Amino acid sequence: MGDIAEDEASFYSNAEDYWREVPPTVDGMLGGYGSISSIDINGSKAFLQKFLGEGEGKTSPVCALDCGAGIGRISKRLLLPLFQTVDLVDVTQEFLDKAKPYLGEEAKRVGNYFCCGLQDFKPENGRYDVIWIQWVIGHLTDEHLVSFLRRCQKALRPNGLVVIKDNVSYEGVVPDEVDSSVCRDLDIVRRLVDSAGLRIVHEEQQMNFPKEIYQVHILALR
């Protein structure tokens, strides 16, 4: 039992150590693939806009949470243009410090900057219309991902959405020793979502990414 706890502790601490050495830039946030940022944002915007608006079942564009926000790349290009208020959560304080100047004038519409790992983060109940979780679920153990998604569900406003956007492996769980993360296949991700009591209401693959990286899928959950 002690070994499991020790492995888990090093899984998280090694990831924190890795990110502390990453430059607080768009290229740093994207692991050297800064060139794909616009393709990524455009795909996310087209996906999200299917849900936003007025009317029955639509998600209000009031308050969003950017999980694993880094310097605020997604907040700046995707969430702040669509929502009145955005909160950022990231495990690396240097990234959040950089987010304020990076977001510029729009930083005044940021509600909160939370420095916390998602395994420990407790979003406020009933606060968010959209909780955006991109390229960060691989830094959570299965158990912590399920419990975080359950907390996210409670943090949603009526008709709110949790969105996961991440790489998926071809089969099974593929560990990455460099940044201390894992890449799960789509069936495993779906099973963990189901375990959290959420259902997938829409799912798409992000197109036009470099061939050498794992496929990226976007899942909208309620």
pLDDT tens digits for range 163-187:
999 999 999 999 999 999 999 999 9
54 lies in which domain range? 2-221
* Angle at CA of residue 211, ends 132 and 146, nearest 5°: 30
Helix H or strand E encompassing 151: helix 142-155
Q: Residue 82: which CATH number?
A: 3.40.50.150
Q: Report how far residue 132's alpha carbon sits from residue 88's, in angstroms, rounded to the nearest whole number.
A: 10
- Which residue did the predictor score with more confidence, 212 or 1? 212
pLDDT tens digits for range 31-50:
999 999 999 999 999 999 99
Helix H or strand E encompassing 118: none
SS (H, E, C) 96-111: HHHHHHHHHHHHHHEE
91 is in an annotated binding site: yes
pLDDT tens digits for range 16-25:
999 999 999 9
Look up residue 133 and give its two tokens: 């979780």
- Phi, psi angles (nearest 5°) of residue 161: -130, 140
pLDDT band at 2 (very low <50, low <70, confident <90, very high): very low
186 is in an annotated binding site: no
84 is in an annotated binding site: no
Domain total in the chain: 1
Q: What is the mean pLDDT of residues 189-218?
A: 97
118 is in an annotated binding site: yes
Burial grade of 73 (CB within 10 A; 0-12, 13-18, 19 or more): buried
pLDDT at 54: 87
49 is in an annotated binding site: no
